[in-house]
Amino acid sequence: MNKHPEHKDWEDKELASSLNRFPERKEKFTHHGGEEISRLAVPAEIDEEYLKNIGFPGRYPYTRGVQPTMYRGRLWTMRQYAGFSTASESNLRYRYLLNQGTTGLSIAFDLPTQIGYDSDHPMAAGEVGKVGVAIDSLADMEILFDQIPLDKVSTSMTINAPAAVLLAMYVAVAEKQGVESSKLKGTIQNDILKEYVARGTYIFPPAPSLRLITDIFKWCADHTPAFNTISISGYHIREAGSTAVQEVAFTLANGITYVEAALDAGLGLDNFAPRLSFFFNASSDLLEEVAKFRAARRLWARIMKERFNAKKPESLMLRFHTQTAGYTLTAQQIDNNIVRVALQALSAVLGGTQSLHTNSRDEALSLPTEDSVRTALRTQQVIAHESGVANTVDPLAGSYYIEELTDCIEAEASALIGKIDNAGGVVAAIEEGFIQRQIENSAYAYQQEIERGERIIVGVNEFKIDEQSKPPLLRVDPAVEKAQLQALKELRAKRDNKKVAEAIEGLSRSARDSSNLMPVILAAVKTYATLGEICQVLREEFGEYRG
């Protein structure tokens, strides 16, 4: 092999200076005999093929990570997903997590909030506060972030169809705290396409949904430049039963669709592309998952460079959050889930994630207890501070198996994206049922393997025990719904309903023309118009998607 001429200069200047900024971690890099080892894990000589497919961390095609020093410079964000009951109850959980060392918040909303209904809507009956926190208005959002400074914390919000409304509430709360919107950091999921195939919390048809998304892109570029405007999600695709290859392919195909929609709306590629982010599942096949993350990062970089001609390096970088796999959690022998989650979290770290949520052991049975949440967070902290895997950038690079598997996943995912392109794109593939059938067939095959005993699930179809007692579980008090309805009734009585009506009428007018909807949604939110009132206007103007 011929040593690449750029290798020595890059290593000596850029990398060495970066590593030397962290001397407290540098001294950990020794063999038992005292000889310093490579913190990059690269071969002594670099050829053109290595640079094309593997390359260096922080360099195109980003196979090895989006930052030159990865976790040597900064650990991933430990972002525990949480939310239940009322805003005040969830606020206590968030403050507990922050006190325990979590470094970012991740908000779970209840089902009525996710589909744009107020808590007193007939469709919300029995679901208020059950799978997440109930947010009806800006008043709830103010309580949710009470004593949590939004200029100091990064917040992720898992919300899709009504994403613009919840983002507006977040911005309004920040203003009330005296925090400029330009200082806000975090992510809003805002990924409607995967809802049509894997999750189901959609409201509007694809065309107006894409309009809302691109309106958010444009508004945030001007007002919240540090906020990720979308989290393009493979997580729910995998939870619905896809394979690792399908997760990559369908997620990146959705990403292509969002880029095309934004370009069609007149947005500049390098203005919005750096704020795109992704969200992946970390399942139990540790090495396959590591390869999957590396393949996704490389494939996206090539798509952005070769298909869209992106110029900024930041536009080529696939930055992603990871959550461990909910579908692998078992109600049987729930302590086994702690081990599963640890392995899955390790795969995410070895694969170069930017943030991570670790599931709790009891989530196959209920919302997690405080003790279970703490154990889940401690799992990340042990990996970060005791395992040693954060001390080397992409430590599995160069493994024959990892590199071959990375190549295979990239090639197979790329071929599947090609099929979607040939079908007319993601929206056409959804309407024809192609993507749904692919996921359903994979889910069926997986379950058949378990039932035939070809795939062992410890404690389920092998190594079973007779469990006499059940662990303590978190249950949401039915009185929560009654209290939320009463608070909503009082809000409607004391707010300025004339201002609410004017704001709602302004939103209706804007929905009928082509103006950006974010400013009028923000104006409506500030009058304490409710989520359901705002979404009802948009339902009337846009219609509802029936699947």
* Angstrom distance (rounded) from CA 404 to CA 107: 37
**3-class DSSP state for residue 498?**
helix
What beta strand segments (E) does 100-235 contain?
104-108, 154-158, 185-188, 227-228, 230-233
Task: Examine the domain organization and report whether 405 and 484 are in the same domain.
Answer: no
Task: Examine the domain organization and report whether 525 and 388 are in the same domain.
Answer: no
State the chain's mean pLDDT as an integer.
91
pLDDT the model gives residue 347: 98
Per-residue pLDDT reduced to its tens digit, 126-151: 999 999 999 999 999 999 999 999 99
pLDDT the model gives residue 83: 86
> What radius of gyration, in Å, describes the C-alpha atoms of the chain?
24
Task: Examine the domain organization and report whether 419 and 318 are in the same domain.
Answer: yes
Amino acid 248 reads V
pLDDT the model gives residue 518: 98
Kindly state whether residue 352 falls inside one of the protein's structural domains: yes
pLDDT the model gives residue 1: 35
Helices (H), 224-369: 235-239, 244-264, 269-272, 286-302, 313-316, 336-350
Kindly state whether residue 108 falls inside one of the protein's structural domains: yes
Residue 260, burial from CB neighbour count under 10 angstroms (0-12, 13-18, 19+): middle
Kindly state whether residue 346 falls inside one of the protein's structural domains: yes
pLDDT the model gives residue 38: 58
pLDDT the model gives residue 4: 35
Kindly state whether residue 175 falls inside one of the protein's structural domains: yes
Kindly state whether residue 28 falls inside one of the protein's structural domains: no
Contacts of 266 by beta carbon, 8 Å cutoff, 6+ apart: none
Domain boundary among 394, 413, 430: 430
Task: Examine the domain organization and report whether 350 and 276 are in the same domain.
Answer: yes
Task: Examine the domain organization and report whether 386 and 498 are in the same domain.
Answer: no
Kindly state whether residue 470 falls inside one of the protein's structural domains: no
Task: Examine the domain organization and report whether 487 and 422 are in the same domain.
Answer: no
Query: Tell me, what CATH number does 141's domain have?
Result: 3.20.20.240
Task: Examine the domain organization and report whether 487 and 413 are in the same domain.
Answer: no
Domains held by the chain: number = 2
* Angstrom distance (rounded) from CA 42 to CA 291: 17
Q: Report the Cα 251 to chain-centroid distance in Å.
A: 12
Task: Examine the domain organization and report whether 230 and 130 are in the same domain.
Answer: yes
Task: Examine the domain organization and report whether 516 and 400 are in the same domain.
Answer: no
Task: Examine the domain organization and report whether 126 and 187 are in the same domain.
Answer: yes
What phi, psi does 232 have (nearest 5°)?
-70, 115
* CA-wise closest residue to 545 among 432, 431, 436, 439: 431
pLDDT the model gives residue 125: 96
pLDDT the model gives residue 48: 80
Kindly state whether residue 469 falls inside one of the protein's structural domains: no
Question: Are 231 and 279 within 8 A, CB to CB?
Answer: yes
Buried b (16+ CB within 10 A) or exposed e, 38-67: ebbbbeeebeeebbeebbbbbbbbbbbbbb
Question: Are 340 and 375 within 8 A, CB to CB?
Answer: no
pLDDT the model gives residue 13: 42
Task: Examine the domain organization and report whether 295 and 165 are in the same domain.
Answer: yes
* Angstrom distance (rounded) from CA 322 to CA 273: 20
Q: Report the Cα 325 to chain-centroid distance in Å.
A: 13
What phi, psi does 4 have (nearest 5°)?
-70, 130
Domain boundary among 403, 430, 457: 430
* Angstrom distance (rounded) from CA 179 to CA 225: 14
DSSP string, 268-310: -HHHHGGGEEEEEEE-S-HHHHHHHHHHHHHHHHHIIIIIS--
Task: Examine the domain organization and report whether 114 and 203 are in the same domain.
Answer: yes
Kindly state whether residue 260 falls inside one of the protein's structural domains: yes
pLDDT in tens, the chain (547 residues): 333 333 333 333 444 443 433 333 433 333 334 344 456 777 767 778 777 889 899 999 999 999 999 999 999 999 988 888 899 999 999 999 999 999 889 999 999 999 999 999 999 999 999 999 999 999 999 999 999 999 999 999 999 999 999 999 999 999 999 999 999 999 999 999 999 999 999 999 999 999 999 999 999 999 999 999 999 999 999 999 999 999 999 999 999 999 999 999 999 999 999 999 999 999 999 999 999 999 999 999 999 999 999 999 999 999 999 999 999 999 999 999 999 999 999 999 999 999 999 999 999 999 899 999 999 999 999 999 999 999 999 999 999 999 999 999 999 999 999 999 999 999 999 999 999 999 999 999 999 999 999 999 999 999 999 998 888 888 888 899 999 999 999 999 999 999 999 999 999 999 999 899 999 999 999 999 999 999 999 999 999 998 7
The domain of 515 spans 480-542
At what angle are helices 163-177 and 531-542 packed, to 10 degrees?
140
pLDDT the model gives residue 41: 72
